[in-house]
């Protein structure tokens, strides 16, 4: 038997004692989980049931693990390899999959939702989802590879140059990781905004960013005459998106990566008169290997962004704590 945190229904996650996963089928591997991160989308699913397709389901799509058993025909992995996993389960057959845009798969699902995930001592997954990691990368840092890929995808979709000032609204995991990645090569100012002063302060100090309010005056005070042509919406709040839209310069592009819980009234003339662009950013495309390559260099900074290290038994109470907005850092990590 082993322990697993399983989502049953809206507002119902339990830590259960369950049988070990079966022998991995052909093409799959058995994994011993080392560390797993709680994602904002895990919390969204817990609150709304938006992506519940089976119940109960062992949650968790951000994790680091060790390969402990190989299914038939698996090549490229050996027992003892340390890996992180791709979170996306794609069909491989639709037009998006066939044209190299798996994040837009018509039947896209996620590990931890359409199959059991990493909030457990062990799990089994298809080998094609796995990426090897360096032996020296600590387990809690490796567990952050997947959100790092999301942040990389957001930056690439936005096409922001090193000399372009940028404003990131939302200092949660993705907003904070966007700021951190940019801080290593960006020459222009990085501005961040968040209602949670602790998180904004942490991200500003790790990324060398300046905290601003989401107002045109605050942006002008920070940038002077330089126009703000690039922004990231990482809050999922309609109010924040409206404030951000009012704070950027004409001609600006805003990358949207937050998950919204409400719809908004939008005047389409905004796009015409002010030549604004909204760029949707869904998960990531082929950025996971690049994110894995960034881990050693970012390890010290990523360590500062960890909110808490918890045990599997602490998952339900930490879901409540995170939903109540009581996180001080950016990522809560389950150590197994
Ligand atoms: Zn995630
Ligand atoms: Zn597909």
Q: What is the pTM of this model?
A: 0.95
End-to-end Cα distance, the chain: 15
Residue span(s) of the chain under CATH 3.90.180.10 come to 2-146+284-335
Q: Regarding the domain with residue range 148-280, which homologous superfamily does it belong to in the CATH classification?
A: NAD(P)-binding Rossmann-like Domain (3.40.50.720)
CA of 110 to the centre of ligand 1 (A): 9
Beta-carbon neighbours within 5 Å of ion ligand 2: 90-91, 94, 97, 105
The CATH architecture of the domain made up of 2-146+284-335 is Alpha-Beta Complex (3.90)
What pLDDT does residue 226 have? 96
Which one of the ligands is nearest to 104 CA?
2
Question: What sign results for the dihedral spanned by CA atoms 238, 47, 332, 116?
Answer: negative
Closest ligand to C-alpha of residue 113 is 1
**What is the distance in A from the centroid of ligand 1 to the CA of 235?**
14
Ligand nearest to the CA of 45: 1
The CATH 3.40.50.720 portion of the chain extends over 148-280
Ligand number, closest to the Cα atom of 98:
2
Say how many Å lie between the CA of residue 95 and the centre of ligand 2: 7
Residues with CB under 5 A from ligand 1 (ion): 39, 62
294: left (phi over 0), alpha (psi -120 to 50) or beta: alpha
pLDDT by residue, tens only, the chain of 336 residues: 999 999 999 999 999 999 999 999 999 999 999 999 999 999 999 999 999 999 999 999 999 999 999 999 999 999 999 999 999 999 999 999 999 999 999 999 999 999 999 999 999 999 999 999 988 999 999 999 999 999 999 999 999 999 999 999 999 999 999 999 999 999 999 999 999 999 999 999 999 999 999 999 999 999 999 999 999 999 999 999 999 999 999 999 999 999 888 899 888 998 899 999 999 999 999 999 999 999 999 999 999 999 999 999 999 999 999 999 888 899 999 999
Query: What integer pLDDT is reported at residue 213 of this predicted model?
Result: 97
- Spatial CA neighbour of 253 closest among 226, 236, 271, 273: 271
Q: Looking at the CA of 89, which ligand is closest?
A: 2
Q: What is the C-alpha to C-alpha distance for residues 274 and 234, in angstroms, rounded to an integer?
A: 22
């Amino acid at each position: 038997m082993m322990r697993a945190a399983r989502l049953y229904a809206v507002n119902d996650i339990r830590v259960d004692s369950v049988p070990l996963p079966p022998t991995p089928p052909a093409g799959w591997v058995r994994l011993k989980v080392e560390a797993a991160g709680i994602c904002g989308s895990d919390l969204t699913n817990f609150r709304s049931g938006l992506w519940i397709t089976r119940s109960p389901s062992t949650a968790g799509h951000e994790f680091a693990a060790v390969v402990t058993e190989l299914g038939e025909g698996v090549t490229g992995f050996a027992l003892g390899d340390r890996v992180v996993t791709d979170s996306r389960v794609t069909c491989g057959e639709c037009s998006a999959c066939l044209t190299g845009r798996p994040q837009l798969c018509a039947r896209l699902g996620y590990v931890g939702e359409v199959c059991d995930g990493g909030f457990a001592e062990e799990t089994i997954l298809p080998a094609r989802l796995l990426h090897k990691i360096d032996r020296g990368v600590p387990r809690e840092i490796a567990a952050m590879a997947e959100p790092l890929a999301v942040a990389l995808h957001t930056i690439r979709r936005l096409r922001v140059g090193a000399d372009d000032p940028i404003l990131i609204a939302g200092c949660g995991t993705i907003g904070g990781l966007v700021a951190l990645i940019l801080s290593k090569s960006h020459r222009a100012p990085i501005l961040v905004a968040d209602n949670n002063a602790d998180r904004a302060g942490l991200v500003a100090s790790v990324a060398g960013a300046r905290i601003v309010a989401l107002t045109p005056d605050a942006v002008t005070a920070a940038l002077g005459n330089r126009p703000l042509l690039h922004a990231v919406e990482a809050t999922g709040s309609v109010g924040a998106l409206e404030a951000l839209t009012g704070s950027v310069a004409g001609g600006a592009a805003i990358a949207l990566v937050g998950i919204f819980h409400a719809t908004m009234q939008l005047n389409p003339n905004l796009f015409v008169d002010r030549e604004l662009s909204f760029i949707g950013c869904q998960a990531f495309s082929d950025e996971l290997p690049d994110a894995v390559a960034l881990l050693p260099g970012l390890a010290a900074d990523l360590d500062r962004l960890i909110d808490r290290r918890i045990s599997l038994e602490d998952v339900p109470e930490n879901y409540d704590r995170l939903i109540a907005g009581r996180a001080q850092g950016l990522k809560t990590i389950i150590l197994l």
